[in-house]
Amino acid sequence: MKTKEKSKNSLLKLLKVIVVIFIITGFVIGGMNGALGKSENVQLAHIVRTIYLMYENIFRTVIIIISSYITFKLLKNRNKGSKMRFVSLITFSSFMLIIFVIMPLITGIADVAIAVMPFSWSSMPIQLLKDGHFFSSSIQSHTVNILLIMYVVYQGVVLLGTLIYGRRFHCSMICPYAGGHAESFSLALPLIKKKNSRSGFSNLTLKLLNILKVFMILFAFGIMGLMAIDVFGGIEVVSFETLRQMEMIKYMTFDIILMQLAYVTLNGRGYCYYCPAGTILGLVSKLSGQRIETDLTECINCGLCDRECDMSICISEKALKGEALSHINCVGCGHCVDICPKDNLKYSTSITRKIYAKKETTTDCSCN
C-alpha cells in the first residue's frame, strides 16, 4: 500500500514538474517569437520562427502525450472509473500527433497549427487574405490557399461535431490549445493549492472572468470586423498593422500569460471560461441538446461533482431534484460523471439520447 502511494506521489510530482517546464518555455519562446519573429535580421527571425514552430508542433505534442499517460496512470489508481477522462486523454493525444506532427511531415507545411484555430480565436484567415502574413509567419501564396481550405474544413468539422456531441467534442476531445493541456495537466493543477478548496473559481474570480469574457468577445469581433472592412471593403478604418499588433498583444497577454498563470493559482480551465470560441460553442451546444442527466440512480448529496467541476457549475443542486443540467459553461469534460459514487450522472445530447433509446428498444425486443 505504501509503495502504491509512493508511486502515485512520484507521478504527481513529475506531472507538476512538466507543467512548470511548460509554463516557463511558453513564456520564453512565446515572448521571443513576439519580439524577434519579425526582426529585420532575416537570419535571426528565421531561427526564432523555427524554434517557435518546433515548440508549437513537436514540444507541445510530446508534453500532452506524456502528461496524458501520467494522468491516465494516476486515474487508474482511483477506486472509481474514469471512462470519459480516458477518452479525452486518448483523443487529445491522437489529434495533436496527427495534426501537429504527422500533417506537417506529409504536407511540408510547418504552419499547420494556425489552420486549426477555432473561429473567433484569431483573425488568421483575414490576415492571410490581406498579404499572406500571420503574426511572424510569412506564408507563400500556394500555401495560403491550402491553409484556408484546412481552416474552413476544420471549422465545419467543429461545428458539425458540436451539433452532434455538444461542446465536449471540441473543448474536451480535440482542442489543441487550452483543452488539451487542461485535461492532461488536470491532476497537478493548480500548482499552488489551497486546503479544502474545490476545483472551480471563487465568486470574485467568476465576476472578473465574466467581465474578461465580454471583453474578449467584443475585442475578437472588433478586430476581425475592422480587418474585414479593410480586406473586403477597401476601407482602412485603422491601420491593418496596428490591428495586427493589437491582436498580438491580446494573444501574449490573455492567450499565453493569463492562461498559464491560471495553472498556478486556479485550474486548467481558467482560459476556457473566457475563451471567445468556447463561448460561441457553448451557444451552439444548446442546439445539440447537451446536458448532464442527473436521475440515473439517486443523489446522496456528497458534493463530489461540484468539487470536481473546473468550470464552477453547481451540479448537485440539479442532481438533488433529479433535473437535467444544461449550462453554457459546461465543457463536457465528464469529471462529474466519472467521480459520482452512485453512477447517477450521464453526459448526453439529443442525438446520443436517441441512439441510447433505440438500443434499449432493440434490447427489450430481443429479450421478449
pLDDT, tens digit (0-9, with 9 covering 90-100), for 37-92: 777 888 998 899 899 999 999 999 999 999 999 999 999 887 667 899 999 999 99
CA angle 255, 256, 257 (to 5 degrees): 115
pLDDT of residue 356: 83
**In which element (H, E) is residue 358 found?**
helix 350-367
pLDDT of residue 199: 59
DSSP letter at 351 equals H
List pLDDT tens digits, range 310-328: 999 999 999 999 999 999 9
The answer to whether 117 and 56 are in contact (CB under 8 A) is no
**Distance (Å, rounded) from C-alpha 167 to C-alpha 323?**
20
DSSP letter string over 95-118?
HHIIIIIIHHHHH--GGGGGGGPP
Distances 253 to 34, 182, 221, 259 between C-alpha atoms, Å: 11, 18, 17, 9
Is 196's pLDDT higher than 60?
no
What is the pTM for the complete model shown? 0.90
Q: How confident is the model at residue 198 (pLDDT cuts 50, 70, 90)?
A: low
Q: What's the mean per-residue pLDDT of the chain?
A: 89
Is 290's pLDDT higher than 90?
yes
**Considering the chain, what percentage of its residues have pLDDT values greater than 70?**
94
pLDDT of residue 117: 84
Is 303's pLDDT higher than 90?
yes
Q: Which CATH class is domain 285-358?
A: alpha beta
The answer to whether 258 and 271 are in contact (CB under 8 A) is yes
**Distance (Å, rounded) from C-alpha 252 to C-alpha 100?**
21
Domain parsing of the chain, residue ranges: 2-284, 285-358
